[in-house]
Structure 1
Amino acid sequence: MLGRLKPQYLFILVVIGLLALYFLFGSLFGGKKAHNVAEAKTTADTQPSVQVKLAPETVRQVDVVLRGRTEAARAVVVRSETAGVVAATPAAEGSFVRRGHVLCRLAVDARQASVDQARAMLRSRQLQRQAAAQLAEKGYRSQTQVLEAQAALDAAQAQVRQAEIALAQVNIRAPFDGVFDKRDAEIGTYLAPGQACGTMIELNPLLVVGDVPETDAARLRVGAPATAKLVGGQLLNGRVRYVAQDADPQTRTYHLEVAVQNPANVVRSGLSAELRIGAGAGAAHLVPVSALVLDAAGRQGVRYVLADNRVAFAPVTVLEETGDGMWVTGLAGAVRVITVGQSFVADGQKVRVAAAR
């Protein structure tokens, strides 16, 4: 049949066949390519977009921050050593007194008479001892009698000392420089031995005390520099003088004391304070406050983007909050921290990355 066709018709049929084959193969391979492009475009469109900020690693002073309060270095209840009625209270309650200042004075009663009697006896024993020695030199007294006179003299001296101490005990004195914070006895009060005249507190040096979490206790050392910021904004500088080795069984925290100077006694005991204690230098990163998130386990941290644009999570510890952001530890090296979209992505998920605006 093809042999009966004219040559021009045969040519047309060949051309039409070639065109049909061209469009057939083109639709097959071109469609597959278009499908791949469309699929890639669809995959890219399904990847969430996040904004990141590069956070370089910085060596920074690491501080342990905790709440504390001021406390007197010493607080002593000053008690009477003898019995008597309070005759005077020379120290004003709440005033600063020097060591040895009289806080309460008891009535002397017969104590002065006891001193006078003991001194008179002492003079008599001295004369007897002197006479015994002179007679012994002349052979009228034995050496044993001289020793007996000396023993009587020694006993008289002891009685004088005892009477003088009893007389001195009517003055109840301050045991150290400090503030006479509270008076417990007024004029006319009878004090038995061991009863309180009042309370003395030492405010210089002053202590700032707090309780350190067990996660931070190992980083603190005696002698470490510390700064206490009081509620009024006043700053006190000092050093750690004590860190407990045994934790409180209820709170699992360790008691800590910082000694600061308070020369004018202007800072009172019992004021709230923020303690910042130096714990050495370490690696830290500055991240935006908004970048902090919680993972499924409730840990605080940041999400960041790895080199292959996959999301990762790192728990962090906040060192300090500043106007520029949060200084944290727990990251390593330069990190692309997610600042926008961090709450809508999961660990291991691939994302499209854009620089933070």
Structure 2
Amino acid sequence: MKKAFVIVIIGLLIVFGGIFGFKAFVNSKIAEAMAHMPKPVVTVSAATAEIAHWHPQLRAVASLAAVQGVDVTPQIAGNVTAIHFRSGQYVQAGTPLVQIDDSTQLAQLASDQAQLRLASSNLHRTQELIATKAASQAQLDSAQATYQTDQAAIKDIQATLNKLTIRAPFSGYLGIRQVNVGQYLTPGTKIVDLQSWSPLYANFTLPQSDLQNIQAGTPVQIQTDALPGQTFSGKVTALGSAVNSTTRQIEVQATIDNPKNQLRPGLFGELTVVRDTTEKVLVIPVSAISYNTYGDYVYIIHQEKKDGKTQETAMQQVIKPGKQRDGMVEILSGLKQGDRIVTAGQVKLVNGSLVTISHDA
């Protein structure tokens, strides 16, 4: 029994040894054949690392605000008797917007005007009498005081009437109407918002380290996803008086031109502060950079001669990228001016791949 078990084990070893030996033989022949096969040539697109002159830029997220913007509200309580505007309408400064019931004040004005006419007559009569010494100075003083008091009462009621006719405090665009005829309004009730759209303020913050690079008059540009592809220009008009002690940021305000009224208060966008100086930077297309867990890299194209023939190979090169702008990226280290790098087709490459440059890409 023991002898039969040993024979079976030996037989299995022979069988499996033959199988693995055959596979090893086949693999060695395949490797030998592959070693004699020419390397495949990968078609790629290429570009040259070159020097560009960039204006140093500071970037921030900015919020747009109206130079003049307000919620129109009443100062005196009362019922709305008339509405003189439409939602979204452009109005000039002083345009009547809403009329609040002024019937009581108009009646009071008529009474005060009658009192003023009487006081005026009494004053005139007293002045004539005092000229003939038929009235005393005390009577004249009393008549003048009554006349002036009645004048003041009319001015007071006229001021109240002016407040009951709510007008646009400045020219601009109205928002959505919030009130209706017959509605009772109390002081502070929002009637409509009024905003001026041109120009607009852009409010943003910058780190304290950038304070030396910005001042009133520094040009800025802003883009917003509400109007993709469009850039609006302006200038810095004010800086905060102090750096925030918690965030170490300083508040900055720029004024943005909005000639076609495309921008709206409340929008936010990416703002760029453009400095007057320029700097030389080494740049390549952003599409040339590949990424992995070990860092960013590109494929540099090298020329070499082999067997009397010139061939081009792609070799990986670790780089340190910097700022990006208009599809180009600054290279801080890893490349030099004139290096040719692969911009398309990297996914088909390995270190040392033979390449040919496509001039159609």
In structure 2, the CA distance between the partners of 1:314 and 1:211, relative to structure 1 (3 Å rule), is: farther
Structure 1 stretch displaced more, 66-75 or 141-150: 66-75
1:153 aligns with 2:147: yes
Please give the residue correspondences for 1:192-341 in structure 2 after superposition, counting only pairs within 5 Å.
192-231=186-225, 232=227, 233-247=229-243, 252-288=248-284, 289=286, 318=323, 320-323=324-327, 325-327=328-330
Following the alignment from structure 1 to structure 2, what is the Cα–Cα distance between the partners of residues 72 and 158? 38
Task: Tell me, in whole angstroms, the C-alpha distance in 2 between the residues paired with 1:166 and 1:336.
Answer: 76
| Native 8 Å contact 1:301 1:316 kept in 2 | no
TM-score computed with the length of structure 1 as normaliser: 0.65
1:137 CA drift (Å): 0.5
- Cα distance in 2 for residues equivalent to 1:301 and 1:111: 80
Looking at CA atoms only, which structure, 1 or 2, has the larger radius of gyration? 1
Deviations 1:119-157 (A, max 9, x none): 111111111111111111101112232122111111110
Q: Percent identity at matched positions? A: 23
The 3 A distance-change label for structure 1 pair 291 and 280 is farther
Q: CA deviation at 1:322?
A: 3.3
* Farther off after superposition, 219-228 or 201-210: 201-210
Secondary structure of the 2:265 match is coil
- Are residue 124 (structure 1) and residue 118 (structure 2) matched? yes
1:210/1:301 Cα in 2 relative to 1: closer, same or farther (>3 Å)? Answer: farther
Runs of 5+ in structure 1 lacking a partner? 1-52, 303-312, 341-356
Change (3 A) 1:286 1:245: farther
* Cα pair 1:103 1:197 within 8 Å, conserved: no
Output the amino acid matched with 1:181.
Answer: G
How many residues align structurally?
Answer: 273
- The amino acid that maps onto 1:257 is Q
Taking structure 2 as the reference length, what is the TM-score of the superposition?
0.64
C-alpha distance in 2, partners of 1:284/1:301? 22
Give the equivalent residue in structure 1 for 2:7. Answer: none
**Corresponding residue SS for 2:153:** helix
Structure 2 vs 1, CA of residues 159 and 92 (structure 1 numbering), >3 Å: closer, same or farther?
same
Q: Secondary structure at the match of 1:218?
A: helix
C-alpha RMSD of the superposition: 3.6
Amino acid of the structure 1 residue aligned with 2:325 = E
TM superposition shift of 1:65: 2.5
Tell me by how many angstroms 1:118 deviates: 0.8
Deviation at 1:59, TM superposition (A): 5.4
Contact 2:49 2:282 in 1 (8 A): no
**Which amino acid in structure 2 is aligned with residue 256 of structure 1?**
V
**1:238–1:186 distance in 2 versus 1, CA, 3 Å:** same
Deviation at 1:250, TM superposition (A): 6.2
The one of 86, 92, 98 aligned to 2:86: 92
CA contact (8 A) 2:321 2:329 kept: no
